[in-house]
Chain A
Amino acid sequence: MNTATTAALSVAPAITVERRLAGDLAIWIFILAELLAFGVFFAAYAFTRANHIELFDAEQVALHRDAGALNTVLLLTASYFVVRAVQAAERLASAASARWLLAAMVCGAGFVIVKLFEYSAAFEQGVSLSSSPFHMFYLSLTFFHFMHVILGMVILGAMWFGARAGRYRPGDMNGLETGAAYWHMVDLVWLILFPLVYVIH
């Protein structure tokens, strides 16, 4: 609320130069809520795993860890491209910014495709939300995140349009930075999810 007050009441724009919150406060509230939901879900996973360690370990081995690793690379690359897109817009290079966003979307699409292959293989083996506690968490967490990637791509698409229209420039970066913050959140969640569900024994 303080941030809002300062933004609304600030008379001297000079103050805002140092320590500015990148992106809209509204998205940060949303991001915090999302991280809270994921956080509680992760805690529930850890708690249940502690009670079924052998089952979790056995079923974890059956997951496609390579696909998960590939997806980690794809998401990290996408995040890097988004950073480059923001930097390009800061330099007034709208066209370059749009290209970086397109590259990020390609990486996101790669993630979605890899994930779909992973899911179809899992479904063939009878993995479902009801087949075991581990499968419940594996599918719930990855699918919840998967939907975030898709939403993230929709947002990247909107930003791509904005960048092509030259909407973002220094001093008017709110839309771009807000979307970027959301995408980084999606990436961050995966960086916790992947080791937790796919790797840690």
Chain B
Amino acid sequence: MKRMLVPIAALLSAALASSAALAQKKYDQGASDKEILVGNINPYSGPASAYGTIGRTIAAYFKKVNEEGGVNGRQINMISYDDGYSPPKTVEMARKLVEQDKVLLIFQSLGTPPNSAIHKYMNAKKVPHLFVATGATKWNDPKTFPWTMGWQPNYQTEAKIYAQHILKEKPNAKIAVLYQNDDYGKDYLQGFKDGLGAKAKTMIVKEASYEVSDPTVDSQMAQLQASGADTFFNITIPKFAAQAIRRAWDSGWKPVHYLNNVSGSIGSTLKPAGLDKSVGLITTLYLKDQNDKAWANDPAVVEWTAFMKKYYPDGSLLATENFYGWNVAQTLVQVLKQSGNDLTRANVMKQAASLKGFVVPGLLPGIKINTSASDFAPIESVQLARFNGTDWVRFGEIMGK
């Protein structure tokens, strides 16, 4: 029936000589001729509050878009709530946004545990749960969860790229893995093993896990070192990454050291560990580093700096979170633009899954955003980089899809 309606409506509108777009205006709750209401949940307080600044950057970006006329003539209004990185609170806020504030969609809710808590709810309610700020692989599951989509390269994609690099550069490597004993650590480990394929069993000589409550990973590092490994994949959050880097240096263990992107921040991991002790680390990048002098004159960084000064003057120009927020917000604006006058939840989701070769300015040259009905992983390519004591220096091709 619906299929019939569209051509009929089109015919009618053509007959009436009015614009086709006018006839096709369709809205779900949260959208109207004047505005698009977007919900957001961020940790403005609590242990992950360093990320709260992402929500502020996004709000600032929407303000800029609105001042420039909005999206297809509509203003984007964002309601952003604080969940303190506590999953039960996230559920409360998501329900409030959907049921009371009646938003069209929820955008960029942050963290794997908070998003896991609302994953089923959002899909049961059929509300777009877009570009969540976490790298877990499970957001790319359009069959079971057709209303949820991630944004950044997911952990398994990233881990597979390290595996490819090892297979190519050092096919006889003896690999030691340190990982956090939870979904995040196991997600990476799984991707890494998949990437090594049949050789995983022989190449990985030792795996050691740690708990977030462990005071140190010294014991694990001693086990890994004793295994005789010459290659080390470090799947840890900044605190433990810094400990592991320093421990390896203290004990004179000098493996080829791959560090997950989670802890790739120079300021919050490598500086505490010691920049001299971090030389030679390998990680992956997908965004330009706005602090790297090499990008100082890049149009994206120049534009972002001007944006920050005008719309978010309190925000730190050093925080990569602010650069990230600016880029991810542009992806949502693109989806809303593509949705045109059909601002139904189904169409927004359809448009989010129809990004073809879309480029936000902050992405490394060569990386594009691609999605489809069966591919809910927007960014799937990265570039390897090695730390030279002051900056991450990119090398090799763009890897991934």
- Chains A and B form a bound pair: no
Give the interface of B toward A (CB within 8 A).
none
